[in-house]
C-alpha cells in the first residue's frame, strides 16, 4: 500500500487531504512544517509527499531541497500563491506537480494517482538511445546528453522530452500534452505546459531549436 506524507501548517487542510487519501486506499502521515517533514522522510519511507510552501520554521521549497539531497521522492507542491515564478521555482527543484489553493481534494487525489502511476511506469524494453545532431536521449538510463555532456533534467522535463522524441514531427496540442504527460485532465491554466517547455529548452541549450512553437496549437519536436 502506498504511503503519503502530507505537509501543511494548517491542521484542517491536513485532515481533509488525509481523509481523501485514505478513501483512495493510501496510508497517510502528517507533518506540520518543513523541518518535521525532512526528518520524517529521512527516518521513514514514503511514496509521495504533498508539500505546502508557506510554513513556519522551514518553508516547502527549502524542505524539498533537503529531501532531494537523500531521496528522490515524487512531490506535489501546494501554495496559495499563483505567481508563475513560484511554479517555475518549484518545478526547477524537481516538483512533479503544483496545486494552487483553494483546491478540490478530488482533483488533488487525481494528481496524486497520476504522479504515482508515472513514477511506477517502467521503460523496460526500451534499451536504445536516439540522437539528433548533438542531442542524445538514453531511454534505458534516463540520461540526456548535449554534445557529449550529461545534462540534469527534472523528472517532468525528461518525461516531456521523452514524449516529444516519441512523437517526432507530430503537432501536439497543449491539451494532449497535459493529458499524456501529466496523466490527467487538467482543470487549471495550460501555461503549465509552456513553463515546462521553457525549462526544457533552457536545459537542452542550442538544441532548443528542435522544439517548434505552433501558434494557437501547441508544439512540435522537429529535428
Share of the chain above pLDDT 70, in %: 90
Residues 106 and 10 in one domain: yes
User: Would you say 86 and 53 are in contact if contact means Cβ atoms under 8 Å apart?
Assistant: yes
Does 126 score more than 50 pLDDT?
Answer: no
Q: State the CATH number of the domain containing residue 154.
A: 1.10.10.10
Give 27-56 pLDDT, tens digit per residue: 999 999 999 999 999 999 999 999 999 998
Q: What is the per-residue pLDDT for 185?
A: 53
Residues 79 and 36 in one domain: yes
Single out the residue in 88, 120, 152 at which a domain terminates. Answer: 120
Dump the DSSP string for 120-178: H---TT---EEEETTEEEETTTTEEEETTEEE---HHHHHHHHHHHHTTT--EEHHHHI
Q: State the CATH number of the domain containing residue 56.
A: 3.40.50.2300
Q: What is the per-residue pLDDT for 35?
A: 95
Residues 116 and 22 in one domain: yes
Q: What is the per-residue pLDDT for 122?
A: 39
- Residues 181, 11: Cα–Cα separation, whole Å: 32
Please state the domain count of the chain: 2
Single out the residue in 53, 85, 120 at which a domain terminates. Answer: 120
Residues 174 and 107 in one domain: no
Give 136-156 pLDDT, tens digit per residue: 988 777 889 999 999 989 888
Q: Which residue has the cell 482543470?
A: 187
Residues 31 and 111 in one domain: yes
Q: How confident is the model at residue 182 (pLDDT cuts 50, 70, 90)?
A: confident
Read off the pLDDT of each residue in 163-171 and give the average, rounded to a whole number.
87
Residues 98 and 145 in one domain: no
Q: How confident is the model at residue 189 (pLDDT cuts 50, 70, 90)?
A: low
Q: How confident is the model at residue 71 (pLDDT cuts 50, 70, 90)?
A: confident
Q: Within a 13 Å sphere around the CA of 66, how many CA atoms are in the beta-carbon half?
A: 16
Residues 14 and 70 in one domain: yes
Give 7-16 pLDDT, tens digit per residue: 999 999 999 9
Residue-range definition of the domain harbouring residue 17: 3-120
Amino acid at each position: 500500500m502506498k504511503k503519503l506524507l502530507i505537509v501543511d501548517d494548517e491542521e484542517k487542510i491536513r485532515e481533509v487531504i488525509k481523509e481523501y487519501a485514505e478513501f483512495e486506499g493510501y496510508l497517510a502521515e502528517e507533518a506540520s512544517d518543513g523541518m518535521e517533514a525532512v526528518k520524517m522522510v529521512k527516518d521513514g519511507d514514503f511514496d509521495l509527499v504533498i508539500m505546502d510552501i508557506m510554513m513556519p520554521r522551514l518553508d516547502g521549497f527549502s524542505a524539498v531541497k533537503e529531501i532531494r539531497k537523500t531521496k528522490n521522492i515524487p512531490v506535489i507542491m501546494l501554495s496559495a500563491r499563483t505567481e508563475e515564478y513560484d511554479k517555475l521555482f518549484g518545478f526547477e527543484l524537481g516538483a512533479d506537480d503544483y496545486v494552487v489553493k483553494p483546491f478540490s481534494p478530488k482533483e488533488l487525489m487525481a494528481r496524486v494517482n497520476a504522479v504515482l502511476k508515472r513514477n511506477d511506469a517502467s521503460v523496460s524494453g526500451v534499451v536504445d538511445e536516439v540522437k539528433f545532431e548533438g542531442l542524445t536521449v538514453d531511454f534505458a538510463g534516463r540520461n540526456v546528453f548535449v554534445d557529449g555532456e550529461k545534462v540534469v533534467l527534472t523528472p517532468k522535463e525528461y518525461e516531456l522530452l521523452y514524449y516529444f522524441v516519441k512523437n517526432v514531427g507530430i503537432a501536439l496540442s497543449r491539451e494532449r500534452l497535459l493529458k499524456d504527460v501529466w496523466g490527467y485532465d487538467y482543470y487549471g491554466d495550460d501555461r503549465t505546459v509552456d513553463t515546462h517547455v521553457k525549462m526544457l529548452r533552457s536545459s537542452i541549450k542550442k538544441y532548443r531549436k528542435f522544439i517548434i512553437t505552433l501558434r494557437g496549437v501547441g508544439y512540435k519536436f522537429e529535428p
